[in-house]
Amino acid sequence: MTELIPAPRAVLAASSGEVRLTARSRLHAGPGAEGTERWLRTALGQATGLPLREGREPDGTGTDGIALRVDRRLGPEAYRLVSDARGVLVEGGDAAGVFWGAQTLRQLLGPDAHRRAPVRRDRIWAVPHLTIEDAPRFRWRGLMLDVARHFMPKDGVLRYLDLMAAHKLNVFHFHLTDDQGWRVEIRRHPRLTEVGAWRARTKFGHRASPLWDEKPHGGHYTQDDIREIVAYAAERHITVVPEIDVPGHSQAAIAAYPELGNTDVIDTTALSVWDTWGVNPNVLAPTDNTLRFYEEVFEEVLDLFPSEFVHIGGDECPKEQWRSSPAVQARIAELGLAGEDALQSWFVRHFDSWLSARGRRLIGWDEILEGGLADGAAVSSWRGYAGGTAAARAGHDVVMCPEQHVYLDHRQDGGPDEPVPIGWVRTLEDVYRFEPVPPELTPAQAAHVIGTQANVWTEAMEDAARVDYQVFPRLAAFAEVAWSALPAPAERDFVDFERRTVAHYARLDALGVAYRPPGGPRPWQRRPGVLGRPIEGPPPHR
């Protein structure tokens, strides 16, 4: 009962007693909790085989029922779980709070409560008598999944939404476009997926690797697939934030529509979807045609994704083609800009204004700070803390996701068996000691750190099993950082977290997660002979 992840704020355990769920147990939901009732009846019904029929409002006479209700006094996403002689009561400050309380209830029932069918019919399902009071630290608790480098089919995305929900994460940053693939159907521009969703082959390992996977790779989500993903996420109180990259990371789009590129510098008709990794020199041309093309893309994106924020990338935009292009130089002069960096800022500001006019907010990687930002724009701080610190001091909202701390494509150990080792070693403990809010911020500035996010870049992750290996169990540590009220990093009780992780491995086993075992990779998780890019030594703290 003390092995919950993420750790709740307060647990008061009774000296004895438990609530046992049986075939007679009922499940009741008050107004606002009906969505959690449907989810819980399905999830627990599959795992336990119990019918959990609809019940009535508890009157104090029952001993084995579950009641769900909203109590606005608890606050957004907060919940209270009480298990006593009257049964189990889960109250939430809103519908999301009820849902997070139900996730805690499932953990209390044991690892087998996470399975999709009963494994033992004689199993006793019991919740100890206790009271849990809990609420999240941050309102943005995110996971970014890159499906552009290696496509993840829809069922895999839905599975990751379930895994996020089990860890009380609530923002799914969906990286849908890049040089290596365009993954969302845009009906006005069908070649984005007809051409841009497929590459002829794929580099296997780091870009310096001599190895290639010679079969075509790709795929995309139809608009109905996207609607399904967004609705599935919403049922789990997860917001899906789409990312459409501009003006860099755009070779897949240019391969589909060559007029989007810098045609006076290179033959854009000769470009194909990129088959290797790194920073690509082929960036969008800053023409009126390009702007209108992407406005039409975003019009369809806004129809699919109701999220407050829309991510426009904005990172890693090489300027060589712009410097060499007479058309771009004329555009810079026409706009009265100081140079190519100012041109990128102009590009970002255009879409910031365009999104703001439609009631949405732009968010981008911290390069968008260069040249200044409109008031409503937010920043994903990936190049350490500096960009996020500067943005918060300037009054912009920030999501902290520094690569040296929470890039889960980075290796988990320095041993020779780690598959395709990328970046610094970031152990489970390293992630657990990550602190999203820089101490140098004042309280008012710190309030602009609206949350934190772990990022999963998939260049070296060719399938779902590789993604699982890189993400877990570190995502459990990250989830606790994002949700729980932890002390300063050096004071955090990692020994206790590690103890609770032992129980959590059993939950992950029940969920079918191919996590990295604490003793190192299993034989089938290794990739001998595939070149990575390990960086030795500790990463820079800032």
Active site residue 316: yes
Q: What is the DSSP string of 111-125?
A: GGGGSSS-S-TT--E
Q: Tell me the longest C-alpha to C-alpha distance in the chain.
A: 81
Q: Cβ atoms within 10 A of the Cβ of 370, count?
A: 14
CB burial readout 469-501, b (16+ within 10 A) else e: bbbbbbbbbbbbbbbbebeeeeebebeebbebb
Which of the residues 64, 94, 178, 418 is marked catalytic? 178
Q: Tell me, what amino acid is at 319?
A: K
Active site residue 243: no
C-beta separation of 134 from 104 below 8 A:
yes
Q: Which residues face 361 on adjacent strands?
A: 309
Which H or E run contains 363?
A: strand 361-365
Q: Is the dihedral of CA 65, 55, 43, 135 positive or negative?
A: negative
Tokens of 373: 């930002």
Active site residue 194: no
Residue in 399, 257, 386, 262 with CA at minimum distance from that of residue 321: 262
Query: How far is it, in rounded angstroms, from Cα 321 to Cα 285?
Result: 9
Which of the residues 228, 296, 300, 316 is marked catalytic? 316
Query: How far is it, in rounded angstroms, from Cα 262 to Cα 324?
Result: 9
Residue in 429, 476, 478, 474 with CA at minimum distance from that of residue 452: 478
Q: Using DSSP bridges, classify how beta strands 202-203 and 217-218 pair: parallel, antiparallel or unpaired.
A: unpaired
What's the angle, vertex CA 420, arms to CA 160 and CA 426, rounded to 5? 70
Q: Which residues face 88 on adjacent strands?
A: 66, 83
User: Catalytic positions, please?
Assistant: 178, 249, 316
